[in-house]
Structure 1
Amino acid sequence: MAMPTEEVAEPAGGPVGEEVARRAAEWMARLWSEDASEEEREACAKWRAEDPEHERAWKLLLSFAQKFDNLPGDVASQVLREPATRGARRRVLRALVMTGALGAIGHALHGTEVVQLAMSDQSTRTGEIRELTLPDGSQLVLASATAIDLRFDGRERRIQLLRGEVHVQTAHAVPSAHRPFRVETRHGTVLALGTRFTVRLQADASRVAVFEGAVQVQPARAASRGLRVDAGQILSFSATRTAAPTVVDANEAAWTRGMLVAEDMRVADFVAELNRYRLGALRCDSAVADLRVTGVFPLRDTDRALANLALALPVRVRWRTRYWGSVEAR
């Protein structure tokens, strides 16, 4: 796995912007992977050259990686590069965070994909959709750029959603009264009541959609009891309140099959959803934001999805680089 090896001093100037830090982290997470292509390496180099802040974010990441390389022996290189040592890598990173060893780097990269990939129990890269079977037989599907921690023991079954979206099909054979099944986000807890549902973590709220059975939603800082959400309903909740449930779109979980099903969807919303499955950034010009699109689009081939959008509507994608584009009027 080729990684940058030049010695880099931690850049001055304080933390970089959140968006730039996130994009830099996505690039490095991609280049950490075994299947990173030469085209992606060249695209990353072009992104770095576009703006001094891009390069500064990249240098922060290199400095971050070298915190590991400076650990005794071969521990650092192993925990960063070998999937089999995810637990060791997570322990080392947590130790560095707890001791403040990451300094400004940790602040700049807090919550970004590269940190969550290193620290989480299970994760997916941008564009990846992956299925998991839990020890109790429950089934999970992790959406693009998702990170979770798992807590399974004799008393509980708990998933902590750190980033992204997860689809849950709970195992029916285990009595939930003895080992409750919960999905936690920073906004609160979703208690499964024998069910199939999705939970999506967003900036200001979490969203739960129920397809079978029911769940109980409890905001993290709400004084009142939680709200029951039944099959066919969807709602958002913050740390202090829940919104009123509404009817869930039957295609809400189509992403688990690698599809984006749009029914009279705003182009701005379509682009935002597709952007979750792409490296780089895809923007939507305000002139076409309110156009409506209907169709089935592949999430595992977003270039083809964009080409199909251009066939359906008077729009085009103007590319700055291979990974940075804008959907505009044709």
Structure 2
Amino acid sequence: MARLWSDDASEQDRADCARWRAQHPDHERAWQTLLAFEDKLAGVQPQAGGHALRRAVSGTGRRRAMRLLGLGALLAGSGYALRGTDAWRGVTADYHSGTGEIRALTLPDGTRLTLSTGTAIDLRFDANARLVVLLAGEILVATAPDPAATPRPFRVRGRHGTVQALGTRFTVREDDEDARVAVFEGAVEIRPAGAPDAAIRLDAGQGSRFSRYRADPPTPVSEDAASWSRGVLVADAWRLDDFLAELGRYRPGLLRCDPAVADLRVSGVFPLHDTDRALHNLERGLPVAVVYRTRYWVTVRAAD
């Protein structure tokens, strides 16, 4: 990009750039990230940035080249710092949802996928498999029969392992320390990444947590575990701190719970498209006050 920004960019430079963008989807995503830099503060790989800048220095004045070099260093450094974060995954993923967004997709095989807030996925469909790579967040999957002549397995893979569908509807949530699965129809097989022999089967009405090396025994789950896909959060005697942690995923900024009220119990149906209204409803049902320091810094504490 630094070369293209220079005063003497040629048609060959533009052709080289177009060819590079077409070589791999990652190149195109990196290019789009650069174009949206002012809005997203995303970055490029240091090698790509360095290569473009070295070419730019030979064709521009020293002062302009130094400005380009500084910008390139900022972009590369930002990309390095952001790599692995939810922001980076959102920019580079095949599909993603923003904070508070619930997004529905239909995959090439007819499978219906719903992305919860702050979710990022990649798709890897080929002649042998149907794979959803869950990079961050949570998805609801309703699998469709495979239209291919030879049926391909449908799998969801995350950092902690793989979930294979056995004709089913289920959710998978990727957290830092483990993953959660809930099955509503059919069955799935969970296979931890570091212990494939520790695979377990979940049938409808069952859920489990699993990490890279183990899967917990199945526990009962209800349809309420997927209530977010309908735009509501259904709580049944949840601790207040757990409720606010979950609600906070659907709004920007910080939503704090004062430890003095953390053990209060919450039950009800709360809207996810309007989390301020959900907090207002919370005040009406519990002896708490919602204190807005700003729109993005909110604390729930005991009422006066």
Task: Give structure 2 stretches of 5+ with no counterpart.
Answer: 7-13, 15-24, 34-41, 50-74
Q: Which residue of 1 aligns with 2:255?
A: 282
Specify the SS of the correspondent of 1:326: strand
Q: Which residue of 2 aligns with 1:313?
A: 286
1:161-219 Cα deviation digits (max 9, x unpaired): 00100000000354797211000001100000000000000010011110000001111
Q: Which residue of 2 aligns with 1:181?
A: 154
**1:295 CA drift (Å):** 0.7
1:243-271 Cα deviation digits (max 9, x unpaired): 11100133000000000011111111110
Specify the SS of the correspondent of 1:166: strand
Check if 1:72 corresponds to 2:18: no
Identity of aligned residues (%): 52
Letter in 2 for 1:306: L
Q: Which residue of 1 aligns with 2:64?
A: none
**1:103 CA drift (Å):** 5.2
1:278-301 Cα deviation digits (max 9, x unpaired): 011101111111100111000010
Check if 1:157 corresponds to 2:130: yes
Structure 2 CA distance for partners of 1:98 and 1:152, relative to 1, 3 Å: farther
Letter in 2 for 1:321: T
In structure 1, what is the Cα distance between the partners aligned to 2:95 and 2:112? Answer: 14
Q: Which residue of 2 aligns with 1:5?
A: none
Specify the SS of the correspondent of 1:215: strand
In structure 2, what is the Cα distance between the partners aligned to 1:89 and 1:314? Answer: 52
Specify the SS of the correspondent of 1:189: strand
Matches within 5 A, 1:11-22: none
Structure 2 CA distance for partners of 1:240 and 1:151, relative to 1, 3 Å: same
**1:108 CA drift (Å):** 2.9
TM-score, structure 2 length as denominator? 0.77
CA contact (8 A) 1:237 1:243 kept: yes
- Pick from 173, 193, 196 the counterpart of residue 166 of structure 2: 193
CA contact (8 A) 1:89 1:118 kept: no
Check if 1:118 corresponds to 2:91: yes
TM-score, structure 1 length as denominator? 0.71
CA contact (8 A) 1:89 1:119 kept: no
Matches within 5 A, 1:225-236: 225-236=198-209
Structure 2 CA distance for partners of 1:174 and 1:229, relative to 1, 3 Å: farther
Specify the SS of the correspondent of 2:246: helix
Q: Which residue of 2 aligns with 1:249?
A: 222
CA contact (8 A) 2:45 2:80 kept: no
Q: Which residue of 1 aligns with 2:121?
A: 148
In structure 2, what is the Cα distance between the partners aligned to 1:198 and 1:71? Answer: 46
Query: Which deviates the most, 315-324 or 91-100?
Result: 91-100
Q: Which residue of 2 aligns with 1:171?
A: 144
1:145-164 Cα deviation digits (max 9, x unpaired): 10000011221110000010
Letter in 2 for 1:97: Q
- Pick from 274, 280, 285 the counterpart of residue 301 of structure 1: 274
Letter in 1 for 2:209: S
**1:100 CA drift (Å):** 7.8
Letter in 1 for 2:169: R
In structure 2, what is the Cα distance between the partners aligned to 1:71 and 1:95? Answer: 17
> RMSD of aligned C-alpha atoms?
2.6
**1:88 CA drift (Å):** 5.7
Q: Which residue of 1 aligns with 2:44?
A: 96
In structure 2, what is the Cα distance between the partners aligned to 1:290 and 1:221? Answer: 36
Letter in 2 for 1:305: A
In structure 2, what is the Cα distance between the partners aligned to 1:98 and 1:186? Answer: 25
Larger Rg, first or second structure (1 or 2): 2
**1:104 CA drift (Å):** 4.4
Query: Which deviates the most, 102-111 or 253-262?
Result: 102-111
CA contact (8 A) 2:93 2:120 kept: yes
